Chain A
Amino acid sequence: MIWDQVWLVIWTLLKIVAIVLPLIIVVAYLTYAERRVIGFMQGRMGPNRVGLFGFKLWGLAQPFADTVKLLLKEIIFPANANKFLFLMAPVITLATAFAAWAVVPFSDGLVLADINAGLVYILAMTSLGVYGVIIAGWASNSKYAILGALRSAAQIVSYEIAMGFALVGVLIASGSLNLSEIVNSQAGGIGHWFFIPLLPLFVIYFISGVAETNRAPFDVAEGESEIVAGFHVEYSGAAFALFFLGEYANMIMISSLTAIMFMGGWYSPFTGNSWIAQPSILWFFMKTGFFLLLYLWFRATFPRFRYDQIMRLGWKIFIPITIAWIMVIAVLKVYQIGPWFS
């Protein structure tokens, strides 16, 4: 009896490690990919020198060099800063970013917690991340940090609504809050994926996701050229590394969620019985990777939005469009209209 319980705990912990460890490595290589891709798009090489044992390996050891550097650096506490909150902020950011992964289905049945309210859980976890940002800004006792935190908080809260509405569309179309069931309702080739009937919601969801993770072109919260680095300006060393990790884990999260909600998760775009039409975890990774590439592509392409433009885009454009499209989807669903809802 008791040993069953203990075994369950150990088994769950092992599963958590099996998710978090690869995630951290992917985050490390995402930073490398970001610098390489943006470099290539700007006609540069990007980091191509740091290698192992005298081999250059196209700079593949760069993220490890960066990590070691960050971990060895001193954490500087600003004068009169609240030390406890100052250290808690990056932990909150990271913890919420990782916690959301609990309900992400990587493949059929391959999910840590197959809970029925997965969608709600995801929304809750991604929204909690904003506390890390606000606390970091406030506890830093710095005007740049507080400005960055305020901008970031307002932006995240605004885009959360558009994002939530976009997910309501998915919810109506699939009829479930369980992420695995959402993917399963998209089975059967690219024509059944939700991004076709929900195209406006799909675009808005991903753009809101970019805004929600404070990435370019919505990165006014960090705005290097105006408020130096925003909410994490006072952080250095390992504490900064945690923010970094959290931000990139959130990027991967949004990308994989877009793949799950709109692009059919682990399902192949092809139909038939050949090997290429089989559902596989590789399809999920490929779709996630595509959206991650889009993140980097956006950053290489677009100039930063002005702050009022960001707010206008969120409140005056995205929210009305999502509401209108939810109505359309609801009507299609209730009266069983169209090729997708009949």
Chain B
Amino acid sequence: MKIFNYLKSLTLKELLKGMTVTGKYFFKRKFTIRYPEEKTPKSDRFRGLHALRRYENGEERCIACKLCEAVCPALAITIDSEQREDGSRRTTKYEIDLFKCIYCGFCEESCPVDSIVLTDIHEFHFESEGKNVLNKAQLLEIGDMREKEIAECRTNDAEYR
């Protein structure tokens, strides 16, 4: 009946119902993460800033096979290499352009000696032009700094690979 609908709308029933819903949500728990103080947990497979690892004796892992350079879909990696005095092949230049990089993790997958890895660092920035290209020294430094976390993540994830 039309008249009943009309009278029903005059009681504002539906509107009050809606206000009850929002009123309840007012007191519900909020799920916002207050970012710098609180952080969400990160996966062991998180793909963040790059690093070059070393062996435990301090020897750098990279053997300049250039598989990462070849597999990189964004052509972000540039490698030059030559023979070292002891006869091993080593890189003289290992650069990653972070503006080109798409953080796909193919370089890490392709590396036969687990040298290039993606760490769980996701908070980084550049303050001037050109700083977006990480050179070999910087990459090794990041690796030295985070070696413990990197190794831990790799161990945790090993059984699923």
- Interface residues of chain A, those whose CB is within 8 Å of chain B, are 37, 40-45, 48, 203, 297-298, 300-302
Give 10 pairs: A residue, B residue, CB < 8 Å, sorted on A.
Answer: A40-B26, A41-B23, A41-B26, A44-B32, A45-B34, A297-B22, A298-B19, A301-B18, A302-B15, A302-B18
CB <8 Å contact, B22 and A41: yes
CA distance A30 to B21 in the complex (A): 23
Contact with A along B27-38 (1 / 0, CB 8 A): 010111010000
Residue of A nearest to B19 (CB): A301
Q: Of B15, B21, B26, B34, which is in contact with the most chain A CB atoms at under 10 Å from its CB?
A: B26
CA distance A203 to B16 in the complex (A): 13
CB <8 Å contact, B30 and A44: yes
Interface residues of B in 6-51 (CB under 8 A from A): 12, 15, 18-19, 21-23, 25-26, 28, 30-32, 34
CB <8 Å contact, B22 and A301: yes
CA distance A297 to B21 in the complex (A): 11
CB <8 Å contact, B25 and A41: yes
In the complex, which residues of chain A have a beta carbon less than 8 angstroms from the beta carbon of B26?
Answer: 37, 40-41
CB <8 Å contact, A203 and B12: yes
CB <8 Å contact, A45 and B32: yes
Residue of A nearest to B6 (CB): A317
Considering only CB atoms and an 8 Å cut-off, how many residues of chain B contact the other chain? 14
Q: Inter-chain contact count A-B, CB under 8 Å?
A: 32
In the complex, which residues of chain B have a beta carbon less than 8 angstroms from the beta carbon of A301?
Answer: 15, 18-19, 21-22
CA distance A37 to B12 in the complex (A): 22
CB <8 Å contact, B25 and A42: yes
CB of A295 to closest CB in B, whole Å: 12
CA distance A44 to B31 in the complex (A): 7
- Interface residues of chain B, those whose CB is within 8 Å of chain A, are 12, 15, 18-19, 21-23, 25-26, 28, 30-32, 34
CB <8 Å contact, B22 and A43: no
CB <8 Å contact, B23 and A297: yes
CB of A13 to closest CB in B, whole Å: 41
**8 residue pairs, one from A and one from B, having the closest CB atoms:** A41-B22, A301-B22, A45-B32, A40-B26, A301-B18, A300-B22, A41-B26, A301-B19
Residue of A nearest to B16 (CB): A301
Residue of A nearest to B24 (CB): A41
CB of B126 to closest CB in A, whole Å: 25
Known A40-B25, A203-B12: A45·B30 in contact at CB below 8 Å: yes
CA distance A221 to B30 in the complex (A): 32
In the complex, which residues of chain B have a beta carbon less than 8 angstroms from the beta carbon of A203?
Answer: 12
Residue of B nearest to A217 (CB): B15
In the complex, which residues of chain A have a beta carbon less than 8 angstroms from the beta carbon of B18?
Answer: 301-302
Q: A297: which of B19, B28, B34 is its contact (CB, 8 Å)? A: B19
CA distance A40 to B25 in the complex (A): 7
CA distance A308 to B23 in the complex (A): 29
In the complex, which residues of chain A have a beta carbon less than 8 angstroms from the beta carbon of B19?
Answer: 297-298, 301
CA distance A40 to B32 in the complex (A): 11
CA distance A259 to B15 in the complex (A): 22
Residue of B nearest to A207 (CB): B12
Q: Of A40, A297, A298, A301, which is in contact with the most chain B CB atoms at under 10 Å from its CB?
A: A301
CA distance A298 to B16 in the complex (A): 10
